[in-house]
């Protein structure tokens, strides 16, 4: 049975990463209202990733779900136990960057892969990736200058490690692509197992 991979995300960064490793897929955005009931970062990202994946799967009629593989993901930035989401405005972005500069924080991504078969049964694979990110000390001019680029405004934690903020990254411990938004090595291996084929 031919299987179809669906990315349950409107994130351009996740789309680019899947394209980069040669995975054929379609994008279907969940539009689900995320409901957070967990408190631990690793549990939060899995909970939200599952909500996205399930919402997308439910968009397909039951009779059409056989062979569909839905990939859901959620990424959060955590500093001193506080979750830093997308900043509401430039002022909040400045506050977030100010809290991250000269410090270490953690980035968590939860991945949920839902598989369906001909009997309409469902399998669920889950994975959480954690990366430590160390940011150089920044001046107020550097912080305001970075925020003025508008790059932080659509990103959790108010920065993109793959963008101009790379100039302020001291080092990371863990998966770089996890910080971008998707641990692609895990996703590649798992999807290869499910589809029983190589992409590259």
pLDDT band at 72 (very low <50, low <70, confident <90, very high): very high
Q: Residue 2 gets which letter from DSSP? A: -
Please give the pLDDT value at position 33. 85
CA distances from 122 to 39, 66, 114, 141, 184 (A): 27, 9, 7, 52, 23
Could you list the active site residues? 74
Please give the pLDDT value at position 195. 84
Average pLDDT for 124-130:
96
Average pLDDT for 143-166:
94
Using CA atoms, how far apart are residues 183 and 21, in angstroms rounded to an integer?
Answer: 11
Average pLDDT, the chain: 92
Q: Which residue has the tokens 């940011």?
A: 135
Query: What's the first-to-final CA gap in the chain, in angstroms?
Result: 21
Please classify residue 137 by burial: count the beta carbons closer than 10 Å to its beta carbon, then call 0-12 exposed, 13-18 middle and 19+ buried.
exposed
Among 53-67, 92-106, 162-176, whose mean pLDDT is lowest?
A: 53-67
> pLDDT by residue (tens digit) across 156-169?
999 999 999 999 99
Is residue 118's pLDDT more than 90? no
Using CA atoms, how far apart are residues 72 and 8, in angstroms rounded to an integer?
Answer: 5
Please give the pLDDT value at position 65. 86
Of the two residues 164 and 65, the one the predictor is more confident about is 164
Is residue 40's pLDDT more than 90? yes
Is residue 155's pLDDT more than 70? yes
Q: In the chain, pLDDT over 90 holds for what percent of residues?
A: 78
Q: How many CB atoms lie within 10 A of CB 51?
A: 20
Is residue 197's pLDDT more than 80? no
Please give the pLDDT value at position 194. 87
Of the two residues 1 and 68, the one the predictor is more confident about is 68
Task: List alpha helices for 24-111, DSSP H.
Answer: 41-57, 90-100
Nearest to 77 by CA among 187, 152, 170, 14: 152
Is residue 98's pLDDT more than 60? yes
CA distances from 126 to 44, 120, 170, 191 (A): 12, 19, 30, 12
The tokens for 70 are 């839905």
The tokens for 41 are 């970062």
Please give the pLDDT value at position 119. 64
């Amino acid at each position: 049975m031919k299987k179809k991979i669906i990315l349950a995300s409107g994130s351009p960064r996740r789309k680019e990463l899947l394209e980069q490793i040669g995975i054929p897929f379609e994008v279907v955005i969940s539009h689900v209202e995320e409901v957070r009931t967990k408190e631990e970062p690793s549990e939060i990202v899995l909970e939200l990733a599952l909500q996205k994946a399930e919402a997308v799967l439910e968009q397909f009629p039951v009779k059409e779900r056989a062979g569909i593989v839905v990939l859901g993901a959620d990424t959060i930035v955590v500093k001193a136990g506080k979750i830093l989401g997308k900043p509401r405005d430039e002022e909040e972005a400045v506050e977030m960057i100010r809290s991250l500069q000269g410090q270490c924080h953690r980035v968590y991504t939860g991945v949920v892969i839902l598989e369906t078969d001909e009997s309409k049964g469902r399998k669920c694979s889950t994975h959480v990736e954690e990366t430590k990110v160390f940011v150089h000390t920044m001046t107020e001019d550097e912080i305001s200058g970075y925020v003025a680029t508008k790059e932080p405004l659509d990103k959790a934690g108010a920065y993109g490690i793959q963008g101009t903020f790379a100039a302020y990254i001291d080092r990371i411990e863990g998966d770089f692509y996890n910080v971008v938004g998707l641990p692609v090595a895990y996703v590649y291996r798992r999807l290869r197992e499910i589809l029983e084929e190589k992409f590259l």
